[in-house]
Structure 1
Amino acid sequence: MFNKIFRYTKRSLARSAENSLESAYQAALTIKNIEIEHFQNKKITLQNGNHSERVFAYFQGELNSKLKAIDLKLTQFKTSQYFNNLFASNKQNYPYETNKNITLSQSLIIEKLNFIDQIVNKYQQESEINPKTVPNLAKETKNPIIDVPAGEDKKIKETVSDKTSVLPRSFLRTLTKIKDEINPDSTDTEEELINRFRRSKYKTAVSVKFLLFLIIIPILVHNISKIAIGRAFVDPYFASHQDIVFINQDLQEEALNELRIFEENIQLKAMIGLMPNLSSQEKETIIQEKAQELAQDYRRQSANGIKNIFSDIFAFISFAIILVSSRQELQVLKSFLDELIYGLSDSAKAFLIILFTDIFVGFHSPHGWEIVLESVARHLGLAENRDFNFLFIATFPVILDTVLKYWIFRYLNRISPSAVATYKNMNES
């Protein structure tokens, strides 16, 4: 019994050390990717990147957050390794370990530690040379600018603690909060809270504004281009080609159906005495007037379908241009949405997942998808293709459900396992 506990403790310590080192390694990789993508594969400084002060402050905040995460994870790694070595002093208790596995593990550890030291030493040299300038720089870059959001560091801690810590996350957060509150340098702590609030406020404003741009600008481009294209090309073309009324068979069938109903309605009213009996010529004249009215109506629908095709293309292009030219805003928006979604309670996450799945991939979702496809076809002036609709309904919800399950398994299960458990309980009840 004692040997089993001994082995389990040893394996837990080894796993904790491995996860801590992996987290530090991933944080170092993030810093390296920022250097490659935004600072010409050089050190993250204002001189090495062609960015404004606000954008640089965002990257500076990301750098500071990752360096703190590396320091925290390396401390956990050293602690776990220390106790792991104490347990490993008695090799007879671990006959399942081979020298080959140990050699491979040590070589991988050395490789990751060398990479982490290469990244960290690059930014520690400046602080060792002139430590007084670092706090001032931090204050300058953190005050009015976007930094790592308040929930970002918390999210990192929760993700890592899900993997490595034996203690509950709330207990660790409470200890961290107590340590911050009894910190003798309370002025810096209060200033940091104020800075976090300012950064969160600025990040929220940027995200909401960017979302409004993503919605309003494509709509404006769609409407303006539709009017311009209609007046310049489509309307004159249909005016000069009066023989073009229906651009697809579905519109013609709808017009014939309406005309038949109108004719039967006249006959019914005449039979029940709601209108006088009409001669064949009078009846034909009324039906002909209705046919002309339907022709104008469906000619307008056909023209609108062609206008919508081109205006949708222009709207999509404008949407893509906004995304391509606003990469920094996209990063801020992603951070804001991550904090908003992952900051929800476990029951709220489970409720939203169930609501989303029931609407888009649930039992009654095929009827909704059929209506959506019919509306899209009518909007573009296309004939409805039942085979395509059935194929889409049979495949797309399945793909969507697979992606959702992968997200739950790959990310949510790691970040918030209690939310996954709540989702399973609510879904099974």
Structure 2
Amino acid sequence: MSNSGLGQKIYTFLLAAYELYLRTPERSLNKAYEAALKIQKIENEHFNGNKIDSHSTTYSSSIIDYFESDLKKELKIIRMRLTEFKASRYLLSDSNQKAFRKLGIEPLNPSVILDKLRFIDGIVAKYTFVEEELGPQDRVSKPIDIPVESLVLQPKPQNISRKNLDKEPRSKTDTTGVLPRSIFNTIYRLQAELDPQAEQNVVQNFRTAQKRTIISVRFILLLIIVPILTHQLSKAFVVGPIIDHFRNPEQAVIFLNEEMEEQALLELQRFEEKIKFENLLSNVSVPIENIEAQIREKAEEIAGKFRQESANAVKNVFADILSVIAFVFLLVTSKREITVLKGFFDNIVYGLSDSAKAFIIILFTDIFVGFHSPHGWEVILEGVSRHWGLPANHDFIFLFIATFPVILDTIFKYWIFRYLNRISPSAVATYRNMNE
């Protein structure tokens, strides 16, 4: 193939790539628009033009789950494509816009863009809040307990006006009534139990809590599995082959640091001493040439082993970077799941007894900032250094152990004093008694 033909192919390829880059905003907007159309199609065909309702009695729970999975998938596509649309439009400069006409590409009409964005916003606005996804009964400031006894809705007095809200806080003498508050609470509970819709409310709250748990557990598993899979797959199919291609096994560096070299020499020395010891114990003396050949063969085996470890450490660096990128991307694109997960953890924390809260706090503080924690931090830091092929800098490790646990301990104590003491004073008292 001539140089002119190769240059023409490269030019054609670069021109096509540049055209693809220029069409990124249009392509992203069209994908988001198509996803919004799919949601509208489901609404028109199965919900009479209304929003996809997870509490509809027209279909069974399995069919509702099927529609909800499609809805979540299309909403995720809309979010991702709109983010790509905004980023690509931000990166396109005036010179890029002029390149449209030079390449014979007609830019997308602004009125068409606005119409599509309005349509997309109209569809997404119906499913904006996480509470819409979980159900209307989840719109409370505090988490809903799973047990049936605590899921009974307790009605509150409805005669609260704006004027009453604007009043000054009442003193303790003003809040004291003629009858104890527990009597009124009992009356409210009886009213709730006698309410004809009490059973429906209990079932609805239980379904809401069940959905929250399923979403939270699934999201936690994703946060664990996705980075691990990204690390393993990228290391096996992307990073590994690229490094092996550009790295000559025969000329590659055997040891990345002095510690690896010391380990190799120690292993070879122990092998040599073992052979000599076995030779002294045997009745038949082995020639020195045979011993040297065995030592030379062992040295080559150790060199290949540490050469592979060095290459593996380099692969781990790039694979870890990709894992972090996948983890951050998962967090950025899962804001709704993060909100649900926060409510799930709040529900668990509020459901623990005071002694259980104090036990967990003492357990975590003793593990990370306790008397034996420096040994754990030292093992973790040395393991990370070995994972990346870095020499274990003991000065840095000792400095880290001397400062970081102290900072963590200060943060724990401030959190206990500032927040836990206000949320659960009895748990703080139990923690102090257990700690003493």
Classify the TM-score, shorter chain.
0.5 to 0.7
Q: Percent identity?
A: 46
Q: Does the residue aligned with 2:391 lie in a helix, a strand or coil?
A: coil
Pair 1:245 & 2:227 matched: no
Kindly indicate whether residue 371 of structure 2 is the aligned counterpart of residue 363 of structure 1: yes
1:222 counterpart residue number: 231
Aligned partner of 2:43 in structure 1 is none
Distance 1:80 1:237, change over 3 A: closer
Q: State the partner residue of 2:216.
A: 207
Match of residue 267 from structure 1: 276
Shift of 1:212: 0.7
**1:20-35 paired onto structure 2 within 5 Å:** none
Asked if the contact 2:257/2:389 (under 8 Å) is kept, the reply is yes
Separation in 1 of the partners of 2:283 and 2:410? 61
Report how far residue 265 of structure 1 moved.
Answer: 1.4
Report how far residue 241 of structure 1 moved: 4.3
Q: 1:83 to 1:284 in 2, by over 3 A?
A: closer
Stretches of structure 1 lacking an aligned partner (at least 5 in a row): 1-45, 87-164
Q: Among 422, 426, 429, which residue is 1:421 paired with?
A: 429
SS of 1:245's equivalent in the other structure is coil
> Where do residues 29-428 of structure 1 align in structure 2 (5 Å cutoff)?
50=125, 52=127, 55=130, 57=132, 65=141, 80-81=169-170, 176=185, 178-183=187-192, 186-271=195-280, 273-274=281-282, 276-428=284-436
User: 1:188 Cα shift?
Assistant: 3.0
- Gap change, CA 1:243 and 1:282, over 3 Å in 2: farther
Tell me if structure 1 keeps the 8 A contact 2:355–2:430. Answer: yes
Q: CA deviation at 1:276?
A: 4.1
Q: Is the 8 A contact 2:137 2:208 kept in 1?
A: no
> Could you say if the C-alpha distance between residues 78 and 190 of structure 1 is closer, same or farther in structure 2, counting changes exceeding 3 Å?
farther
The alpha-carbon deviation at position 270 of structure 1 amounts to: 2.1
Alignment check: 8 A CA contact 2:232 2:319 kept: yes
TM-score normalised by structure 2 residue count:
0.61
Distance in 1 separating the partners of 2:327 and 2:299: 41
Describe the superposition over 1:158-215 as per-residue Cα deviations: whole angstroms up to 9, x where unpaired.
xxxxxxx999xxx968853551223486123332222211110000000000001111
**For each residue in 1:208-247, what CA deviation from the matched residue of structure 2 results, as whole angstroms up to 9, or x when unmatched?**
0000111111111100100123442222334354342111
Once superposed, what is the RMSD of the aligned Cα atoms? 3.4
> Partners in 1 of 2:368 and 2:354 — Cα distance?
21
Number of residues of Structure 1 aligned to a counterpart in Structure 2: 299
1:365-403 per-position Cα deviation (integer Å, ceiling 9, x unaligned): 111110111111111111111011011111111111111
Q: Which amino acid aligns with 2:267?
A: E
Q: Distance in 2 between matches of 1:302 and 1:290?
A: 18
Letter in structure 2 aligned against 1:52: Y
Aligned to 2:80: none
| Cα distance change of structure 1 residues 189 and 250 upon mapping to structure 2, 3 Å threshold | same
- Once the 2 structures are TM-superposed, how far is the Cα of residue 408 of structure 1 from its aligned partner? 1.1
Contact 2:367 2:373 survives alignment (8 Å) = yes
Distance (Å, rounded) in 2 between the aligned partners of 1:376 and 1:72:
60
Match of 1:81, SS?
coil
Paired AA for residue 215 in structure 1: I
| CA separation of 1:276 and 1:251: change in aligned 2, threshold 3 A | farther
Q: Distance in 2 between matches of 1:317 and 1:69?
A: 50
Q: Per-residue deviation at 1:53?
A: 6.5
Counterpart of 1:304, as a letter, is: N
- Per the alignment, in what secondary structure is the counterpart of residue 285 of structure 2? coil
Q: Secondary structure at the match of 2:170?
A: helix
2:189 alignment partner AA: D
**2:138·2:208 contact (CA, 8 Å) conserved in 1?**
no
Structure with the higher helix share, 1 or 2? 1
Q: Report the Cα distance in structure 2 between the residues aligned to 1:339 and 1:354, rounded to whole angstroms.
A: 20
After TM superposition, give the deviation of residue 261 of structure 1 in Å.
Answer: 1.1
What is aligned with 2:13? none
Q: Aligned partner of 2:224: which letter?
A: I
C-alpha separation between the residues in 2 aligned to 1:306 and 1:218? 18
